[in-house]
């Protein structure tokens, strides 16, 4: 989320940064809304000040026994009170409109990020190791796994549809071993705290890390209550509210109701109330309607949960709406979780194998730090993710993503691309980790701040990275460590997690 004050102070720099992202200038339209909002706020404040002043003048007039002037002032105050609610709606609506637009604008790239329009503009930073030589033609992981009988896409399709897999026996154990190895490395040697977070989160959490509102179609959501349950709840709420309002109305209009009841025959008070409300169109219904709308909105917002696309969402949101002591920073957290993505924009891509799944396992790294340390923390996070692949003995390269290929919330991103010899014709590099520094972009959306030595709160900086994707690491191990007979040699670092097993093979 962007700071409108910063845009106001330097609109040219904001538009220049958007241009690097391939976007048109937006400062003028944003500032026009902001100016209207500020004008409306000023008008409301002026009216409030006049109401307060007039209220004070009423007392002064009464002390002077100037009853006529006091009466005029009371009329003025009454009029101001009646128009203020409507006037106050204008700045609220403008602020909502402004925030809605700001929420759709991506983070601004750091100056050192290379310019480009897509992945072809990415720049190699460095690489580790070299491509292996084989005396045979390397096979893709799905051919290896299916030949063993340990990787079943057909069974998964019967259960869940496309882009799912069932792993069995040695491959199921190997994937579990990879995840456990990563967690142990990051917690024991890299100083990350292991967290086991919820896999279902609310809208606010998804908004905080910027999956919502822009990327809603890429997410899986579930409803906590059925439409029938909500309807019953709202109906009960409405009945209780209307009954309460009617009872209040009855108390305030006892004489009128007594006269009404004498003119007709009512067996019960409920029948009287229902007839009176229907016959007189009492204020209760009018009052209940906006309350019912509010309740419906609350239920709608509270009804859905999102399956996490990455543990970045719950881990980062652990600091939402809080003020941290900067002595506690950096906070470094890691989690091994299932992740869920609809892959709405991936139709036709990577349809075979485990590269692009709706459900996959990943070890996530999240750091919360100060503005002064976020760049250093970014380099540190990258090295932690790299160490996983180094110890697995996998060849990879690190790419600095260009302005046109970075994620929505990122200021700067490093992608680690691991070599997979079974991909395509002659092998290919595939992303296995993405490490991003987000500055205060997510912190503003979450209202996550820290308090430094001067005692003043300021927004923290957030970082996230894969440490790494477990399913893709499994693919990389299978394709790089495959042997001519179709078996998979287990990397030395994983053998303790496999009970000493050195080879995964059919049988």
Q: CB neighbours of 139 closer than 8 A, spacing ≥ 6?
A: 422, 479, 482, 486
Q: Please check if 294 is assigned to a binding site.
A: no
Q: Please check if 317 is assigned to a binding site.
A: no
Q: Please check if 36 is assigned to a binding site.
A: no
Q: CB neighbours of 473 closer than 8 A, spacing ≥ 6?
A: 178, 182, 388, 389, 392, 394, 418, 432
Task: Please state, in angstroms and as integers, the Cα–Cα distance from residue 75 to each residue in 44, 70, 341, 456, following that order.
Answer: 19, 9, 60, 45
Q: Please check if 27 is assigned to a binding site.
A: no
Q: How far is CA 304 from the centre of its chain?
A: 14
Q: Please check if 374 is assigned to a binding site.
A: no
Strand locations in 297-447, DSSP E?
A: 304-307, 322-325, 331-340, 359-369, 396-400, 412-420, 428-437
Can you read off the two tokens belonging to residue 235?
């109906």
Sign of CA dihedral 422, 424, 425, 431: negative
Say how far apart CA 500 and CA 498 lie, in whole Å: 5
Can you read off the two tokens belonging to residue 117?
């329009």
Q: Please check if 55 is assigned to a binding site.
A: no
Whether 165 contacts 475, CB under 8 Å: no
3 state DSSP class of 69: helix
Whether 411 contacts 441, CB under 8 Å: yes
Can you read off the two tokens belonging to residue 493?
């670092």
Q: Please check if 341 is assigned to a binding site.
A: yes
Q: Please check if 390 is assigned to a binding site.
A: no
Whether 391 contacts 385, CB under 8 Å: no
Q: CB neighbours of 290 closer than 8 A, spacing ≥ 6?
A: none
C-alpha radius of gyration, the chain, whole number: 31
Strand locations in 195-351, DSSP E?
A: 200-201, 220-223, 304-307, 322-325, 331-340
Q: Which residues of 421-452 are buried (b: 16+ CB within 10 A; e: fewer)?
A: bbbeeebebbbbbbbbbbbbbbbbbbebbbee
Say how far apart CA 116 and CA 321 lie, in whole Å: 35
Whether 401 contacts 414, CB under 8 Å: yes
Whether 435 contacts 378, CB under 8 Å: yes
Q: Please check if 433 is assigned to a binding site.
A: yes
Q: Please check if 343 is assigned to a binding site.
A: yes
Q: Which residues of 236-253 are buried (b: 16+ CB within 10 A; e: fewer)?
A: ebbeebbeebbeebbeeb
Q: Please check if 342 is assigned to a binding site.
A: yes
Nearest to 478 by CA among 139, 131, 127, 136: 139
Binding residue positions for ATP? 341-343, 431-434
Residues in binding site for L-serine:
310-312, 341, 364, 464, 466
Annotated binding-site residue numbers? 310-312, 341-343, 364, 431-434, 464, 466
């Amino acid at each position: 989320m962007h700071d409108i004050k910063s845009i106001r102070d330097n609109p040219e720099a904001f538009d220049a940064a958007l241009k690097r992202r391939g976007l048109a200038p937006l400062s003028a339209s944003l500032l026009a809304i902001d100016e209207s909002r500020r004008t409306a706020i000023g008008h409301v404040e002026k009216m409030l000040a006049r109401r307060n002043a007039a209220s004070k003048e009423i007392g002064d007039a009464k002390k002077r026994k100037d009853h006529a002037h006091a009466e005029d002032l009371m009329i003025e105050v009454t009029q101001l009170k009646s128009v203020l609610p409507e006037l106050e709606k204008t700045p609220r609506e403008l602020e909502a409109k402004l925030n809605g637009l700001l929420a759709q604008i991506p983070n601004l790239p750091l100056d050192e990020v290379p310019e480009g329009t897509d992945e072809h503009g990415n720049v190699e930073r460095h690489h580790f190791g070299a491509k292996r030589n084989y005396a045979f033609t390397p096979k893709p992981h799905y051919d290896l796994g299916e030949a063993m009988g340990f990787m079943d896409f057909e069974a998964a399709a019967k259960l869940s549809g496309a882009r799912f897999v069932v792993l069995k026996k040695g491959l199921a154990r190997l994937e579990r071993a990879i995840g456990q190895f990563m967690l142990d490395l990051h917690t024991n040697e890299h100083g990350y705290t292991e967290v086991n977070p919820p896999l279902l989160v609310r809208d606010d959490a998804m908004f905080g890390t910027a999956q919502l509102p822009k990327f809603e179609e890429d997410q899986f959501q579930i409803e906590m209550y059925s439409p029938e349950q909500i309807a019953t709840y709202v109906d009960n709420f409405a009945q209780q509210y209307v009954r309460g309002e009617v009872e209040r109305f009855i108390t305030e209009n006892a004489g009128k109701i007594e006269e009404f009841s004498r003119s007709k025959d009512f067996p019960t008070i409920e029948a009287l109330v229902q007839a009176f409300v229907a016959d007189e169109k009492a204020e209760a219904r009018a009052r209940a309607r906006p309350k019912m709308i509010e309740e419906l909105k609350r239920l709608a917002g509270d009804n859905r949960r999102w399956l996490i696309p990455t543990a970045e969402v719950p881990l980062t949101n652990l600091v939402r709406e809080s003020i941290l002591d900067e002595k506690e920073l950096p906070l470094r957290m890691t989690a091994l979780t299932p992740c869920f993505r609809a892959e709405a924009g991936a139709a036709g891509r990577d349809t075979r194998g485990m590269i692009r799944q709706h459900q996959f396992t990943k070890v996530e790294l999240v750091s919360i730090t100060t503005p002064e340390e976020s760049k250093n923390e970014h380099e540190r996070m990258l090295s932690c993710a790299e160490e996983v692949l180094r110890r697995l003995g996998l060849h990879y390269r690190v790419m600095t993503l260009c302005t046109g290929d970075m994620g929505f919330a990122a200021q700067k991103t490093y992608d680690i691309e691991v070599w997979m010899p079974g991909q395509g014709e002659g092998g290919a590099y595939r992303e296995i980790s993405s490490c991003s520094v987000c500055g205060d972009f997510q912190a503003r959306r979450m209202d996550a701040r820290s308090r430094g030595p001067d005692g003043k709160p300021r927004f923290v900086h957030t970082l996230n990275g894969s440490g790494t994707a477990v399913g893709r690491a499994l693919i990389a191990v299978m394709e790089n460590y495959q042997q001519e007979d179709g078996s998979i040699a287990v990397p030395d670092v994983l053998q303790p997690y496999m009970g000493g097993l050195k080879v995964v093979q059919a049988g």
